[in-house]
Structure 1
Amino acid sequence: MQIDVPLINEVQIGPRLNAAIEHNRRGEFALLLSLLSADARDMAQFQFQKELSTDEKLQKQFDLPPKQCLIADLSAKDIVVDNSAVFSEQGKTAFQLQQALRPEALVIRGNESMAMTEALSNCDLTTRLRQRGQLQSPAMQPMHFAEQLAIQRHLVSVLATA
């Protein structure tokens, strides 16, 4: 038994099986079934490009948009996407279109973790600025041991008179 038209992959076997059943050609039907692999992963519709990661393969297969950024870093030099002006000027539909084209991050904050952000919110302004590198710590000049002794003697005399 020979097949008159060559088969390239399993997708082409479906119509050929239907035709073999319809015309009562048992030999062709058995031959076509024997060509199928027992493992479904060998079939053409399950073959992906090998060099892509699983996420990229699924994104390509289902025509998904790029992943939405979860956290935008305000301290970075990149411009943070802000679609609020589109919403206020053009309305809800234009905002949804802009959000689909250039999605905003779900959370916008600096480069600190959430725990550090909570801790810094309880600190004074000087500590927050110093942590973010916007305020320099005062430079300490090393003192000679003799100078330290002189300052301590002076403080002892001041405390003794008080």
Structure 2
Amino acid sequence: MQTQIHTLDKAGIINELQFGDGINHAVHEGRRADFALILSMFSDDVRDNTPIEKVTEIDTTEEALRRRFELSQPQELRSNQESYPVAATQAELFHTSGLPSAKLSHYLKPDALAYLPEDTFNLPEDVYHNLSGHQRRQLGETGSKSIMPIDLYNQLVTAQRNFQIQTQV
């Protein structure tokens, strides 16, 4: 009897498809004991009865979606050095072939949305040109500078001596 139980456990009976016509005959012939025995051998784990497919992590980054749907690069918000030839080409297409040709060119390779001056540290051009030379230099400095040099006294003395030597010569 013990070997029959182990044999049934190893069978791994999950659903009625593994019994073939046995469960159908038990129902039609009214054999309740056989039907109850067959049902008791089914797995009660829902993961065994439900088809499960492996779910993988879907890459939904903007770049991956652009590759998947074969979209072009997004329109640049601000101009750069590559924007000027594109704009010149679109302007020439407008003058030679008309508005539909310029639109098609823009849809295929979008032009920059705004042409802002370069090398003005994101300031409007008139504001940048009204800054003093010291303020423009400070905008260009990337590292933080110390408030007061440690050897300021030595620098002042050296500068004074150099000035005295130059005036005497």
TM-score under structure 2 normalisation? Answer: 0.41
Structure with the larger helix share = 2
TM-score under structure 1 normalisation? Answer: 0.42
